[in-house]
Amino acid sequence: MVDNFYKKKLVEYFKKNLKKKYPVDTLRIALINQGYSRAAVDEAAREAIKEIASEAPILKDKPQIEHEVIEEEPVVEKKSFWKKIVDWFKKR
């Protein structure tokens, strides 16, 4: 396992930057490029996401779904270019 100090630092790094709306993959790549092990980075990312999710408020109200019926307009079928050419020659 990763040393708790480094793990805690990585988790805080993830939490801070996820709150700034940085993508998880970008943060992972940046840390791996800085020399951190992939396993330590993945573990810290999972833990940071889990901590952020536990801090999120639980919605008790159900969202209201509103809908509106829109009258459909008739579909006009357009002739293809070649069909127009054939019709033009038939008229002559």
For 42-73, how does the pLDDT look when each residue is reduced to its tens digit (9 = 90+)?
A: 999 999 999 999 988 887 888 788 888 888 88
CA–CA distance from 13 to each of 26, 50, 66, 67, 82 (Å)?
12, 14, 40, 42, 62
Instruction: Tell me the whole-structure pTM to 2 decimals.
Output: 0.59
Q: Residue 31 pLDDT more than 90?
A: yes
CA-to-CA distance for 51 and 2, rounded, in angstroms? 18
Q: Residue 12 — pLDDT band, cuts 50, 70, 90? A: very high
pLDDT confidence of residue 69: 83
Instruction: Tell whether the model's pLDDT for residue 4 goes beyond 60.
Output: yes
